Each structure stands twice: as structure tokens, then as C-alpha cells.
Structure 1
């Protein structure tokens, strides 16, 4: 084989392989009353992991406040809202049992490194490209079905690749 043909084949194989682990695709926003729910996503986890983080952006387009009170996916024993803070190089997470208020005109964004959803007691690991059905619970809007796109392990956004730096230690 010539070098050019070999290079072309290697490129084609790498594109095909990369296509199998494509980043998560954002779904259309979901409206629940006056709430606009955008980009529910989570990270893939290694096999045997018992927790997974979930992320979402919610905008209150109405005139009355609401509150995000929880989340669930079928493959987890429970879901909760968590905060994340750093103390030096140690990551500390804590439940936010009172939920997150969303005032009129306000947007909350749950994302890596801050407020997030924590799905615990996983029965199966979320896999890249395999959407996960779930729900978000709100004080006023009630329980809203959503689909979490699954991004690679360590992704910092739903369309990002994996991590660029090692993760800090977790302490719950």
C-alpha cells in the first residue's frame, strides 16, 4: 500500500471510531408551564460506579417563582440536588435539601464544578450516546419528564470531549 492510501484508511478508521463515541447531542428545550428546561445531560461513568452527576439549565419565563426540588432516573436508586465546593484540592459535595429557587425571569444552571444533580445507587452505568430517561421535580410545575444526553467521562459540557486535567478527590 502506498503511504497516501494507508493515511486515508487510518483517517477513515479514526473518524468512524470517533463517531461511535460522539459527544451528547442537546435535545430541544422542554416547556413545563413557564419553565424552559434546556440541555439536560450527564457524564458517562466507568462500569461499577455507584454515582453519576447530572446537569441542566432552567429558565423561569413566568411571573411566579418556582423551585427545583429533585430529579430521578430509572437506573438510580435516588437523585438529589448537590452543591460542590473546593477546599484547597479537595472537592466537597453536600445535598441541597431545600431545592433551588427559580424567580421570575431567573435562570439557574447546574453544571460541573457547581450545583448539580447527583444520581446515587446506580444499577447500570450511563454510556456515551445512550440517552437516559428521567424526571425533574418542581414545587409548582410538578414532575417533568426529560431525557439526559450522555457525554464522555469527565466532559465539562454536553458537547465536550473528556477531561483535560485529573479530577480532584471527592468527599461527601
Structure 2
């Protein structure tokens, strides 16, 4: 094979690798609900947008013994929560994690979470191609009575 064709194929292969390595997930509108002394859990909320089909597979934080992705459920008039192992993030579509749908639960809090502080979260996102992205975010704490901000993504659960 001529050297110029080999070189061109190598460049194309590298471009393909770099394009897939650039898969990104963005975190916007993030916040954690403040807690009161001795409270054992609180929620974290945000909007996630992945540029390729992906999934949120794990969330961790040093302020909680256990961190889980949850979904709000309704059984008649009874509201409940259940753990979700993987949260699908369709390419280019914002997925809202809010108090009335999917959200992150921080359980076994090691300290009170106070308004004005930031909570470190580590999000693990896996692309459909099997690549893993780790996002380190500092999430602001809002008042215990805070409601979800108004946005157009609520239907994207």
C-alpha cells in the first residue's frame, strides 16, 4: 500500500478516536437541598445533557455513606421512591433530575448540609460505545424549602 494512503488511513483512524474521546455530558441547574441537624438524607438535583447516547451509572459524595439514583413513583395516592441502577441519557436531550422525578439521594449524611455550602459529587457516565466519563462537580446547597427551578426539561425524565 502506498505510504500516502497508509498515512491518510492512520490520520482518519486517529480522528475517529479523538471524536469518540470527546463525548461529553454537561451538568446544569445543579443544587442540593439543605438539611437540618441529625437529618440522615437529602436530595441532589440537576439537568444532565449527553452529546451521545449514554447512561448515568453511579454517583458518589464524601458527605454521604450511600448515594443512589432514585425515581419517584406513584401507586394510587401513595408516593414512593425506588432505586434506579442506570439512568438513560439520550443524545442531545436534557434529562432533569428534580424533586418530582429522577433525583440523587445522599443517605447516611456525615454532616449537616447547610445553605450556601457546596457538596462535591462524582458522576460516572458510560457512553453507548462503552467509554466512561467521570464528572467532578461542586453543587451549591439551597434552602431546605427550595423548590425545583422552572425549566422546560421536566418532561424529559
Pick the TM interval, shorter chain: 0.7 to 0.9
Which of 46, 54, 57 is 2:47 aligned to? 57
- Measured in 1, the distance between the counterparts of 2:48 and 2:123 equals 10
Q: 1:94 to 1:149 in 2, by over 3 A?
A: same
Which sections of structure 1, spanning at least 5 residues, go unmatched?
A: 1-31, 160-172
- Measured in 2, the distance between the counterparts of 1:144 and 1:59 equals 12
- Measured in 2, the distance between the counterparts of 1:89 and 1:150 equals 30
1:36 matches 2:26: yes
Give the equivalent residue in structure 1 for 2:140: 149
The 8 Å contact of residues 151 and 158 in structure 1, kept in 2 or not, is answered as no
- Measured in 2, the distance between the counterparts of 1:89 and 1:74 equals 35
The 8 Å contact of residues 40 and 55 in structure 1, kept in 2 or not, is answered as yes
- Measured in 1, the distance between the counterparts of 2:32 and 2:106 equals 10
Give the equivalent residue in structure 2 for 1:118: 105
Give the CA RMSD over aligned residues: 1.9
Q: What TM-score do you get using the length of structure 1 for normalisation?
A: 0.66
Which of 90, 95, 102 is 2:78 aligned to? 90
Give the equivalent residue in structure 1 for 2:55: 67
Q: Which one has a bigger Cα radius of gyration?
A: 2
Give every structure 1 segment of 4 or more consecutive aligned residues whose post-TM-superposition deviation is greater than 4 Å. none
Deviation of the 1:137 alpha carbon: 1.2
State which drifts further: 133-142 or 77-86: 133-142
Q: What TM-score do you get using the length of structure 2 for normalisation?
A: 0.72
- The count of residues paired between Structure 1 and Structure 2 equals 125
What does the per-residue CA deviation read over 1:127-172, in whole Å, with 9 as the maximum and x for residues that have no partner?
000111121111134221001111111311269xxxxxxxxxxxxx
The 8 Å contact of residues 132 and 149 in structure 1, kept in 2 or not, is answered as yes
